[in-house]
C-alpha cells in the first residue's frame, strides 16, 4: 500500500489531482493486470510513478529523448530477477546447493520495498560508450543519518549500476571488489545521477567505476571503483 506521507515527502502535490500529461508511458497508465503473474512479475518498475519528484521526471524525460536515436537504451527492471519465474537461475560459484523452496520468495533487493518508500530508479545504457546511467530517488525508508540516505543504500545503487554496466558488457559476473568514497551526504528523497563506465577488461575481470552527482552536477556525493569477475562458465 502506498503511504501518502511518503508521497508528500518525495513528490509534493502529487496527491492533489490526476496527472495531465499522457507521455511518456507510466506504470499506472498500463491496463490492470489479470493475474498475480502479470501483476507482480511483468511490471516494469523503471517507469514513472506518482512518487517520483519533478526532478526525477525531468531527468527521465531527458534520458528518454536520448533513446530516440538509438544511442541510449532504457533498461527495464522487474521485482523478480527473471520476469519468467520458471527461468530463474541461481549462480553459486562455490557449488553450494540452492534451496529451491526459497526461490519463489526471492526478489531483487532494490525493488523489494513499496513504491516511493525505498529505491526509485531508472537506468539507461549506451552500448557504444559502455556507460550506464542511473537516475535515483532514495525514499524515506532509506534513512541513515537524520535526513540523509544510508551509506548502504547508496552502495546498493552504485553496485547495481556498476553491475548492469559490467553485465551488459561481459555477461554474468559478480562484484569481487567495491571501493567507495562518500564525499557529501545525499538528502533523503532528493534525486541523484549515478554515472558508470567500463574502464578495462582483463580476461574475466571487468573494471568499472562510477560517480554520484546531484541533478545540477554541482555536488559530487560519492565515487567508486569496482571489479566484477565473470563467473566460470563451467559453474554457471
Ligand atoms: C542486474 C542486477 C545487477 C546487480 C549487481 C549486483 C552484484 C552483486 O551484488 S554480487 C554479490 C556480491 N558479490 C559476491 O557475493 C561475490 C563473492 N565472490 C565470489 O563469488 C568469487 O570471489 C568471485 C566469483 C567474485 C571470483 O571467484 P572466481 O571465479 O573463483 O575467480 P578467482 O579465480 O578467484 O579470481 C579471478 C581473478 O580475479 C581476481 N580477483 C578476484 N577477487 C578479487 C578481489 N576482491 N580483488 C582483486 N582481484 C580479485 C583474482 O586475483 C584473479 O585474477 P587473475 O585472473 O589475474 O589471476
Protein residue closest via CA to atom 53 of ligand 1: 205
Which residue among the candidates 55, 94, 101, 159 is catalytic per the annotation? 159
Local confidence band at 22 (pLDDT 50, 70, 90 cut-offs) = very low
Higher-confidence position of 42 and 235: 42
Higher-confidence position of 22 and 139: 139
17: in domain: no
83: in domain: yes
- Measured at the alpha carbon of residue 72, what is the angle toward residues 63 and 164, in degrees to the nearest 5? 95
Domain span at 108: 4-11+22-235
- Measured at the alpha carbon of residue 18, what is the angle toward residues 16 and 20, in degrees to the nearest 5? 120
Q: Retrieve residue 134's grid coordinates.
A: 542511473
Length of the chain: 236
Nearest one of 206, 188, 189 to 197, comparing CA atoms:
206
Task: Give me the chain's average pLDDT, please.
Answer: 83
Query: For position 104, what pLDDT does the model report?
Result: 72
Query: For position 164, what pLDDT does the model report?
Result: 97
Judged against a pLDDT cut of 60, whether residue 6 lies above it is answered with no
Judged against a pLDDT cut of 80, whether residue 215 lies above it is answered with yes
Judged against a pLDDT cut of 90, whether residue 218 lies above it is answered with yes
16: in domain: no
Q: Which of 97-111, 154-168, 181-195, 211-225 has the lowest mean pLDDT?
A: 97-111
pLDDT 10s digits, 50-69: 999 999 999 999 999 999 99
Judged against a pLDDT cut of 70, whether residue 24 lies above it is answered with no
C-alpha of residue 93 to centroid of ligand 1, in Å: 10
- Measured at the alpha carbon of residue 61, what is the angle toward residues 11 and 140, in degrees to the nearest 5? 25
Give dist(CA 119, CA 137) in Å, integer. 6
CATH number, domain of 166, equals 3.10.129.10
Give dist(CA 158, CA 145) in Å, integer. 19
Protein residue closest via CA to atom 9 of ligand 1: 175
Give dist(CA 82, CA 78) in Å, integer. 7
Is residue 159 part of the annotated active site? The answer reads yes
C-alpha of residue 173 to centroid of ligand 1, in Å: 8
From the number of C-beta atoms within 10 Å of its C-beta (0-12, 13-18, 19+), residue 121 rates as buried
Number of domains in the chain: 1
Instruction: Using most ligand atoms within 8 A of CB, pick from 123, 174, 177 the residue to mutate for ligand 1.
Output: 174
Nearest one of 225, 224, 142 to 186, comparing CA atoms:
142
* Cβ < 6 A, ligand 1 pocket: 93, 159-160, 163-164, 167, 174-177, 203-205, 227, 229, 231-232
Judged against a pLDDT cut of 70, whether residue 80 lies above it is answered with yes
Judged against a pLDDT cut of 60, whether residue 49 lies above it is answered with yes
159: in domain: yes
Query: For position 19, what pLDDT does the model report?
Result: 38
C-alpha of residue 176 to centroid of ligand 1, in Å: 3
Higher-confidence position of 14 and 81: 81
Buried-exposed string 65-78: b where 16+ CB fall within 10 A, e elsewhere = eeeeeeebbbeebb
Q: Retrieve residue 179's grid coordinates.
A: 571501493
Amino acid at each position: 500500500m502506498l503511504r501518502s506521507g511518503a508521497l508528500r515527502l518525495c513528490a509534493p502535490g502529487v496527491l492533489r489531482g490526476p496527472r495531465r500529461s499522457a507521455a511518456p508511458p507510466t506504470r499506472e497508465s498500463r491496463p490492470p493486470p489479470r493475474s498475480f503473474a502479470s501483476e507482480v512479475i511483468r511490471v516494469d518498475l523503471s517507469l514513472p510513478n506518482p512518487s517520483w519528484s519533478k526532478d526525477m521526471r525531468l531527468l527521465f524525460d531527458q534520458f528518454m529523448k536520448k533513446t530516440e536515436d538509438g544511442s541510449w537504451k532504457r533498461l527495464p527492471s522487474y521485482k523478480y530477477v527473471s520476469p519468467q519465474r520458471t527461468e530463474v537461475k541461481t549462480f553459486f560459484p562455490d557449488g553450494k546447493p540452492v534451496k529451491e523452496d526459497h526461490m519463489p520468495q526471492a526478489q531483487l533487493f532494490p525493488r523489494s520495498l513499496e513504491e516511493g518508500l525505498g529505491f526509485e530508479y531508472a537506468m539507461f545504457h549506451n552500448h557504444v560508450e559502455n556507460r550506464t546511467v542511473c537516475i535515483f530517488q532514495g525514499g524515506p525508508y532509506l534513512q541513515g543519518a537524520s535526513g540523509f540516505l544510508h551509506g548502504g543504500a547508496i552502495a546498493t545503487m552504485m553496485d547495481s549500476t556498476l553491475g548492469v554496466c559490467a553485465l551488459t558488457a561481459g555477461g554474468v559476473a559478480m562484484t569481487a571488489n567495491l571501493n567507495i568514497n562518500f564525499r557529501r551526504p545525499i538528502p533523503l528523497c532528493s534525486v541523484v545521477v549515478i554515472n558508470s563506465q567500463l574502464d578495462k577488461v582483463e580476461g574475466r575481470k571487468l573494471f568499472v567505476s562510477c560517480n554520484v552527482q546531484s541533478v545540477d552536477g554541482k555536488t559530487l556525493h560519492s565515487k567508486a571503483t569496482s571489479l566484477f569477475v565473470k563467473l566460470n562458465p563451467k559453474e554457471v
